[in-house]
Amino acid sequence: MEAVELYRKANKNTESARLLAEIAQKLQEKRAPPLMIKKIYVLAAFEIDSYKQRVFDASMTQITSGGNTADATAKTLNSLITTDINSSADKALSNPWKGAEAIHYYLLCQRQLYQKEYNRAMKTAIRLIEYEKELDTREVYSLIALASYYNKCYKECSKAFVKLERMPNTTKEVREKFESIALALFSRHSPVDAPQVKFPCPKKGCDAQVSEYDTNCQRCGSFYSACIASGQSIVVKEYYTCKTCKHKAMLKELDYLSLKHCPLCHAVVQPQTKS
């Protein structure tokens, strides 16, 4: 941590970010408290964001042209900086928020389960599939199985069980345990999902109907951002974007939870920027 501080003081953001991400990964392997790990990942992401901003500002001051040209140049620059970072093989640098998001949704899903908000918990659990690399595949599908079971979506639940049973490196003993739980569950419930709310895909020109649990549209390929407050896909226009971490939350979820701080990075929610 001292080294991180030194790098920060020397404005070596990428170095400190890499170090922070490493620390977070090691803590994750040691099963340290997830909230602490999430905070370290958030710090790492802040370092990368401030690096991008600094490179961007420095380059912009050298550009003196006005109006649209400056805008266009700004866009090009931004994408160049991002490509530059992406070309480094380091995943902590190319997608700095991924680690923090993974643990954030993981904790959110557990909280929703404890609060018996099974519909929300299932949406958050399904979102976690995007974070299989950051978390543990078994943990992700166990949460999906649990949440969809309580949410009475037995088809989704049985799919999660199949995934768990067929995972590589599963011992015979563990597999048999999964099989016997599945047998007990599905002898009482046929593997059918409870009715799902459908909504039109928000993409212009796409007439697909998507389920409330979908994170993308099968027809047009649109990807729906997750709401950091609730874990569900954002398919409405009324959402808030955090000024600090740039993640989105649905306004009605912010109100529902009476959130005053960004659930991901803890920046203050600024009501005037709600749009």
Q: Which of 37, 92, 227, 265 binds Zn ion (CB under 5 A)?
A: 265
Token pair of 57 as six digits = 């500002």
Tokens of 139: 């943990």
146 backbone φψ class: left, alpha, beta (φ>0; ψ -120 to 50): alpha
Q: Is 262 in the site for Zn ion (CB under 5 A)?
A: yes
Min separation Cβ 130 and Zn ion, Å = 18
Is 113 among the residues that bind Zn ion (CB under 5 A)? no
For residue 181, the SS3 value is helix
Residue 32 engages Zn ion in binding (rule: CB under 5 A): no
Tokens coding 196: 């799902």
Q: Cβ 57 to Zn ion, closest distance in Å?
A: 21
Among 138, 152, 177, 203, binds Zn ion (CB under 5 A): 203
Spatial distance between the Cα atoms of 165 and 111, rounded to a whole number of angstroms:
26
Residue range at the interface with Zn ion (CB under 5 A); choices 157-165, 182-190, 191-199, 256-264: 256-264
Number of residues counted as binding Zn ion (CB under 5 A): 15
First to last CA, the chain: 39
Give me the phi and psi of 206, to 5 degrees please. Answer: -95, 130
Amino acid 159 reads K
Considering the complex, state which of residue 85 and residue 245 has its C-beta at the smaller distance from Zn ion: 245
Residues that bind Zn ion (CB under 5 A): 201, 203, 206, 208, 217, 219-220, 222, 242, 244-245, 262, 264-265, 267
